[in-house]
Amino acid sequence: MSITNTAWEIFNQSINDYHVKDNVDAPVKNQFPNGTLERILYAKNWIDTVQWHLEDIIRDTNIEPNEALKIKRRIDASNQERTDMVEYIDSWFLEKYKNITPNDNARLNSETPAWAFDRLSILALKIYHMSLEAHRDSASDEHRNNCSQKLNVLLEQKKDLSEAITQLLDDIENGNIKMKSYKQMKMYNDESLNPILYQNLKNDQTKI
């Protein structure tokens, strides 16, 4: 089985495992061996799945402001964790392909394998939840029909994205594409880069 198909199965296993309790505080159920790509991919999707539901919670129009702020902070932390995990996955692929010598005319791709898998992970969540809406008994026929049409588009996108990822990995293995990975340089969580954070830190130190 290709890495892409394996990833898709793992993403869906993670999503299904999460929805057993459907709770953002439920413990992760990662049963894959340490150090394997399978374990990393499961962990990546679990982060995405929890964040998906945090995004739902914070959109509750009746949520208390203090609770909304706590959720927003948690989403910020989750975004950083997601980015770190993507970079970790790219490190895995860099190690896997470290002995590949690119061809003289090798191209660069606009995204790395890990960011492509990130898109696939989110797509798995979209398909899962759109499928629920397409079959929700309490919804109107019009709603279910609209969601069914959207689901068909998402399924086609899954097919195309899976094929594109497979082609990308094949091209890297064959030396037709050079793999390079850049750190995302996220600034909003960094106390030395975010003006609000470093100004607050400066003010706190002044008060000491």
pLDDT tens per residue, range 162-185: 999 999 999 999 999 999 877 765
Per-residue pLDDT band for 123 (boundaries 50, 70, 90) equals very high
Distance (Å, whole) CA 186 – CA 190: 7
Is position 168 within any domain?
A: yes
Q: Which residues pair with 178 in a beta bridge?
A: 108
Is position 207 within any domain?
A: no
Is position 84 within any domain?
A: yes
Q: What is the pLDDT of residues 26-56, one digit of tens each?
A: 999 999 999 999 999 999 999 999 999 999 9
Q: Is the pLDDT of residue 78 over 80?
A: yes
Cβ(85)–Cβ(43) under 8 Å? yes
- Say what the pTM is: 0.88
Range of the domain at 177: 3-191
Is position 66 within any domain?
A: yes
In sequence order, what E strands does the chain have? 107-108, 177-178
Distance (Å, whole) CA 39 – CA 28: 11
Is position 102 within any domain?
A: yes
Question: How many domains would you assign to the chain?
Answer: 1
Is position 131 within any domain?
A: yes
| Residue closest to 49 by CA, chosen among 114, 108, 148, 123 | 123
Tell me the average pLDDT of the chain: 92
Task: Tell me what pLDDT residue 128 has.
Answer: 98
Is position 205 within any domain?
A: no
Task: Tell me what pLDDT residue 207 has.
Answer: 58
Is position 147 within any domain?
A: yes
Q: Is the pLDDT of residue 98 over 90?
A: yes
- The percent of residues above 70 in pLDDT, for the chain, comes to 88
Q: What is the pLDDT of residues 11-32, one digit of tens each?
A: 999 999 999 999 999 999 999 9
φ, ψ for residue 181, nearest 5 deg: -130, 130
Cβ(167)–Cβ(111) under 8 Å? no
Q: Is the pLDDT of residue 208 over 60?
A: no
Task: Go through 179-197 and write b for each residue having 16 or more CB atoms within 10 A of its CB, e for each that does not.
Answer: bebeeeeeeeeeeeeeeee
